[in-house]
């Protein structure tokens, strides 16, 4: 009997067939290891490679999170990939919220969203999103990185307690999760490009993990969280009235 873990089998063809009608030229690339799928797609974008792609790495050696943080994920414990898309939305605001909403809706009714980029379940972090953009000759290219915990991470020293998909989806594997989320996500991204965030506002607010809670932002706003507006900005009712936070550089925590 082999003591090695089974290699992961990725349903790349089925996913490709479900996506390519809406995203002509779409390709899927699966690597055993890379520094970071976001970093790699940004490197390619700088070399004028702007085709629509899903780049997945079974292991990242330098995975990146928001606000310059690292993102850790062991093989089989996390699903880590980036979408690189030629992308020209009229308004970029709310894009990370739209991505999170699509993932949450694909994964289940009790998945919540913590503004602006996190998926939560039972007050723990299930995954995160890192969006970057490149532009060349007036055309823009979006790199949308997604990291989801499939199994609970082995490390216990995380700043935020972790949740995992296998806790509510028995037997879930990274390939199964990828197959479930990709086509709805790429459809949602097409819709966002023309319609923006406004049509998603109510659905986001229904899953907002901070709504109704007293919160504090990293730029020192404090008050009652009232959900997001039609642009995806977080509304906080402070002692000085309602204030909106729309910078993805700001983080917010419940008090």
Identify the three-state secondary structure at position 194: helix
Q: Which is nearer to ligand BTN, 44 or 64 (CB)?
A: 64
Taking the least distance from each CB to ligand BTN, the nearer of 117 and 151 is: 117
CB 228 within 8 A of CB 198: no
Cβ 114 to ligand BTN, closest distance in Å?
10
* Residue 66 engages ligand BTN in binding (rule: CB under 6 A): yes
> Judged by CB under 6 A, does residue 235 bind ligand BTN?
no
Which residue, 56 or 223, is less far from ligand BTN as judged by CB? 56
Per-residue DSSP letter, 6: P
DSSP sequence for 12-56: HHHHHHHHTTTSTT-EEEEES-BS-HHHHHHHHHHTT----EEEE
Q: Nearer to ligand BTN by C-beta: 58 or 229?
A: 58
Q: Does 128 bind ligand BTN (CB under 6 A)?
A: yes
CA angle 116, 40, 90 (to 5 degrees): 45
Give the largest Cα separation in the chain, rounded. 67
CA dist 10 and 115 (Å) reads 30
Q: How far is the CB of 129 from ligand BTN (least distance, A)?
A: 6
224 DSSP β-pair partners: 214, 237
**Contact pick of 23, 37, 104, 235 for ligand BTN (by CB under 6 A):** 37
Please state the closest distance from residue 50 (CB atom) to ligand BTN, in A: 18
| H-helix segments, 20-166 | 37-46, 95-107
Output 131 or 223, the one with its CB closest to ligand BTN. Answer: 131
- 60 touches ligand BTN by CB under 6 A: yes
How big is the site for ligand BTN, counted in residues (CB under 6 A)?
Answer: 21
Q: Which stretches of the chain bind ligand BTN, using CB under 6 A?
A: 36-38, 60, 63-66, 69, 71, 80-82, 117-118, 128-130, 145-147
């Amino acid at each position: 009997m082999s003591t090695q873990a089974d290699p992961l089998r990725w349903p790349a063809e089925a996913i490709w067939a479900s996506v390519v009608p809406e995203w002509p030229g779409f390709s899927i690339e699966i690597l055993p290891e890379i520094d970071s799928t976001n970093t790699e797609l940004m490197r390619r974008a700088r070399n004028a490679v702007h085709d629509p792609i899903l780049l997945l790495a079974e292991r990242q050696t330098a995975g990146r999170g928001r606000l310059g943080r690292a993102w850790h994920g062991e093989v089989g414990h996390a699903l880590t990939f980036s979408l690189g898309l030629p992308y020209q939305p009229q308004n970029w605001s709310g894009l990370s919220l739209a991505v999170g909403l699509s993932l949450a809706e694909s994964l289940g009714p009790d998945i919540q969203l913590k503004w602006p980029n996190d998926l939560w379940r039972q007050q723990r972090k299930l995954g995160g999103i890192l969006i970057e953009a490149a532009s060349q000759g007036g055309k823009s290219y979006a790199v949308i990185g997604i990291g989801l915990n499939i199994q609970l991470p082995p490390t216990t020293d995380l700043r935020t307690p972790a949740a995992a998909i296998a806790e509510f989806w028995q037997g879930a594997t990274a390939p199964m999760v990828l197959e479930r989320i990709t086509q709805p996500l790429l459809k949602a991204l097409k819709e966002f490009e023309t319609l923006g965030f406004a049509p998603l506002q109510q659905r986001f607010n229904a899953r907002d993990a901070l709504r109704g809670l007293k919160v504090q932002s990293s730029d020192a706003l404090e008050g009652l969280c009232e959900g997001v507006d039609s642009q995806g900005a977080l509304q906080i009712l402070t002692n000085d009235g309602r204030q909106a936070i729309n910078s993805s550089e700001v983080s917010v925590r419940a008090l």
